Amino acid sequence: MADILLEPARLDYTPQMLPEPEVSFEKHPEHKHYLNHEYGLLSWLLTVDHKRIGLMYLVSVSIFFMFGGIAAGLVRTNLITPTGAILELDQYNKAFTAHGTIMLFLFLIPVIPGVLGNFLVPMMIGAKDMAFPKLNLASYYVWAAGALFFVWQLIVGGLDTGWTLYPPYSSKYSHTSVMYAGLGIFITGFSSILTALNIIATVHKMRCPGMTWGRLPLFVWAMYATSVIQLLGTPVIAVTVVMLAVERMVGVGIFDPNLGGDPILFQHMFWFYSHPAVYIMILPGMGVINEVLTCFARKNIFGYKAVAWSSVGIAVVGFLVWGHHMFLAGQGYYLAMVFALLTMLVAVPSAIKVFNWTATLYGGSITFQAPMLFALGFIILFTIGGVTGLFLGTLGTDIHLHDTYFVIAHFHYTMVGGMMFAWQAGLHFWWPKMTGKMYSDFWSRLAAIVMLVGFALTFLPQFAVGYLGMPRRYPNYPPEFQIYNVLSTAAAYVQGIGYLMPIFYLGYSLFAGKAAGNNPFKATGLEWQTSSPPSPHNFETTPQVYFGPYEYAVADGLKIIPLNDGKIHDIVHEDPDLVGTTPKEATHGS
């Protein structure tokens, strides 16, 4: 075992497993991988291969991202003039609702769990597939069926309640297709539950030999925490939507104050899911960032345990803070105080992660390819998104900022600046693994910069206009706010161009890109130790794991810094844990 460590010249990183006979397509073009071992439409539609299902999600969510993006474009364009440039009032309401529902339920929630989670989790833990491959396929189709309800809802006239569906507006006053949207939420939620169940079972039961909890890549930890949230939160919104539907159908109901019902109850139950849902949207992104940063900085993650447990911490405490969406909604005063306190606590794990990422760069050997640029963009934007959340979680400051553009800017900085950038980072990072092809270095870096600049400029003015008091969901606004909105819209177009660019250069790479090789970024994770694209069952033999996930520095650098009271030694020669002769896990974060 020690021999591979003494052979650093061959690799400049230390893979989690012992080197296996490499399968290379340059040398063996006849080798079958998951993309070409079967052909035909049915081989895709009926596949139970987690990698193919991941790609099916990739195509689907990209389409819905385009829909959501078009709706966003309509909204932003309309806001160029204070009286609405292109849309009628109700058209605007439908446009922003479409933007919200599509982006949340059909893009942000499924995108990383559906695509990267599906594709990578089994590979990262050395499994041949998900625990329940058929369920995995079923959950894709359930999701697609739910998505169809959203599409149908758009076709029959759209929804105008906002994605929050607050009664009594949604249950009684809206004349739009609340029922279809409700069905869509219910069904996509069911799919989300099934995916989560699958991932949890996979992580618990399918890890390959030697893949202890302390050696799990942090992306897997993040996906695990995400899945816990999905499993525990989603059923509650499902039953809430059922109650809303019953109320709307029968005409009398549970949330209607005229009958003694309480609209605030809906908000409680809605946010019981929907607040943790924002962590469903951001945690996988954080997981991706761990993988990308370590790879391009050639470093171990700083504080593995802290990063891993902060994911779990977010998942748990994230369930206890939903009331901060309702500080002004008429909930009990004491409850609001409790929620405000817990909100301050949930901000801490996110802060820990940001500091750990920054510290990870320290002492690295950093290269700036596209995934790294996206990851750095993530840290920059997510930091702003995170600190602006503090304004909204503080009881006093929320009074003024609640339901203004400040909120819009805040959550776009976390959701788009966070999740969207993480998604792009992950997509660019694993694209060579998924397709076996390399994309253009220049265009991908340019796209990262265009997106970053466009995004930052779109939402910075919104903080200002939000502090001035411009309420959200306003097609018409006081004329003195126009300059901010025009700036925002102009930058939104730039951002839109940024999102279009990957379609071209990634698409181009599919047909004319050069072969990427098995491990173009020289990353350590198990998924990189197999061929690109991987064979149908991922690994030729069940891998055996000997190391933690991010041993980039070991192979060629024997320089070890004893930062922490000298506990870390020269691992090659002295650390018995890492070479795997004792049952303890490899040292991490000590």
Residue closer to other proteins by CB (options 130, 434) is 130
In contact, 386 and 409? CB cutoff 8 Å: no
Alpha carbons 446 and 322: distance in angstroms, whole number: 38
Residue closer to other proteins by CB (options 157, 478) is 478
Q: Least CB distance from residue 419 to other proteins, whole Å?
A: 19
Residue closer to other proteins by CB (options 303, 436) is 303
Residue closer to other proteins by CB (options 513, 548) is 548
Nearest residue to 255 via CA among 158, 362, 171: 171
Residue closer to other proteins by CB (options 369, 518) is 369
Q: Least CB distance from residue 540 to other proteins, whole Å?
A: 14
Q: Least CB distance from residue 455 to other proteins, whole Å?
A: 16
Helices (H), 403-440: 405-414, 421-435
Q: Least CB distance from residue 511 to other proteins, whole Å?
A: 31
Q: Least CB distance from residue 512 to other proteins, whole Å?
A: 28
Residue closer to other proteins by CB (options 220, 384) is 384
In contact, 403 and 329? CB cutoff 8 Å: no
Q: Least CB distance from residue 177 to other proteins, whole Å?
A: 15
C-alpha distances (whole Å) from 284 to each of 117, 222, 256, 287, 419 are: 8, 5, 37, 5, 8
Cα 193 to chain centroid distance, Å, stands at: 16
Rg (CA), the chain: 24
Q: Least CB distance from residue 26 to other proteins, whole Å?
A: 26
Q: Which residues pair with 471 in a beta bridge?
A: 404
Nearest residue to 435 via CA among 135, 54, 46, 18: 54
Residue closer to other proteins by CB (options 37, 473) is 473
Spatial neighbors of 111 by CB under 8 A, at least 6 apart, are 57, 61, 65, 419, 423
Alpha carbons 198 and 202: distance in angstroms, whole number: 6
Q: Least CB distance from residue 414 to other proteins, whole Å?
A: 14
- Cβ neighbours of 540 (radius 10 Å): 12
Question: 455-466 in b/e burial notation, b at 16+ Cβ within 10 A?
Answer: bbbbbbbbbbbb
Residue closer to other proteins by CB (options 434, 554) is 554
